[in-house]
Amino acid sequence: MAIGVFIETGSPNDLCSHPIWYGLGVLSTIGLTLFHGWLGFSSGLILCIFSISQLNIFIRSLSNFSRPGGWTSIGLGFGISFLIYDLLELIHTFTVAYAFVPGGEIFREHTPIVLAVVIGLIGIGFFGNQYDKRKEEENELVEEDFVEKGLIRKALGALILGAVLVMWFRTVWKVKEVLPYHPEDRTLKAGIWTVHFGIDSGMWESQRRMRDIFQELELDVIGLLESDLQRIVMGNRDLTQFIAEDLGMYVDLGPGPNKHTWGAALLSKFPIVNSTHHLLPSPKGELAPAIHATLDVFGTMIDVIVSHNGQEEDPKDRELQSIELARIMREAYPRPFIFLGYVVSKPHAPRPAPYQILVEDGQMLDIERSDFDRWCDYILFRGLRRVGYARVTRGSKPAVSDTEIQVGSFQVPPD
């Protein structure tokens, strides 16, 4: 963002108003849509720089354009701008939340179209802005303008230096050593929780309360579901960063926001040796994420799945998703395995419900076959000694989530 402001304030040759600059913005939008990994990340950075470089120009252009009509005209101009922004923000949310919106199917996974509309609207402003056309009338202010921009650049330089120092401090001094809670017993305690985007029932941020609960339960491995906050409406935040840093844990985020799921995350006190992200088959309903990771637990390789099946309104999706999860677990046999998943199924429900498919086809054991009061979350395992099982209250006044935490404690047999 600072680079974008630097370019806007330090380009006497009108770089930010040149068509090639807009072309770079278009190409970065395409790259963000088409590519993943570092290419997609780099494209997103370029798009951010381009967008920020236009912000001041657009604001000044809108102000100059509306000025002849007085404050009413200025207010109307900015009001329409914010209305368009809000509509685009709503539609961008519908690309994931289509299952909860009447007629939402038309928005399913259409983020590229939303981005195309956004960059197109920026193009209209880019080529039609009034600010550059008034430069000849403002020649007498050019010298003062450059002095003002010089001060802005110096302030930005100080801000960037401060940000780098803060990042260095957090990286070097704040990172805790990652250690399991009870290595002397070779035990691993795993939990699964659907956290609904880190917002409690009172609509307050709940990361600190989640941290306290995880610490009290001494969880070594945590599966979080509905954890993707990297959207405009959620503040583009990372739900796991604070918890992982404060508790000293490794973290793996599942399929990203461009995959149009509600998100899954894995936090671990043990090194994550390998991780694969999956989009489970979802021909009709919500897209379902899964993380398949291998952990180094006291020298033993143990596989973990964190997954979120679809809802009961889409039985075919649920069946296909369960078949795929069972395949992953079956093909990893005889390696020890822990399944932490949002299943939405009665215990021992026959096919095509997920339970029987996951347990039998996946060659797994239910952590507590006699518990018939489960519905959403389930823990399955194999190749480990079951030590304990608990269902923990979701917290109260206000509740952290409307779902409970399920916890399983296991002992890792010596090789």
Residues with Cβ within 8 Å of residue 35, at least 6 apart in sequence: 43
For the chain, percent helix, then strand, then coil, each to nearest 5? Answer: 50, 20, 30
Residues of the chain short of pLDDT 70, as ranges, are 10-13, 66-67, 69, 130-149, 174-175, 394-396
Q: Shortest CA distance to 285 belongs to which of 306, 264, 312? A: 312
The pLDDT value recorded for residue 8 is: 73
Domain boundary among 144, 169, 194: 169
Digit-coded pLDDT (tens) for 185-221 = 999 999 999 998 888 888 888 899 999 999 999 999 9
Residues 198 and 134 placed together within one structural domain of the fold = no
Domain stops at, among 137, 169, 201 = 169
Q: In this structure, which amino acid lies at residue 138?
A: E
Q: Give this prediction's pTM.
A: 0.86
* 148 falls within a domain: yes
- CA 374 to centroid of chain Cα atoms: 27
What contacts 210, CB < 8 A, 6 or more positions away? 193, 195, 198, 243, 400
The residues, any chain, with a CB within 8 Å of residue 293's CB and separated by 6 or more, are 252, 266, 268, 272, 273, 274, 275, 276, 303, 304, 305, 306
- The pLDDT assigned to 363 comes to 97
Please report the pLDDT score of residue 37 as a whole number: 84
308 belongs to the catalytic site: yes
Indicate whether 176 belongs to any domain.
no
Which of 36, 110, 308, 348 is an active site residue?
Answer: 308
Does 174 map to a domain?
no
Q: Are residues 113 and 194 in the same domain?
A: no
Q: Are residues 197 and 131 both part of a single domain?
A: no
Task: Provide the pLDDT for residue 201.
Answer: 83
Total of domains in the chain:
2
Check whether residue 146 and residue 191 sit in a common domain: no
Which range marks the domain in which residue 157 is found? 2-169
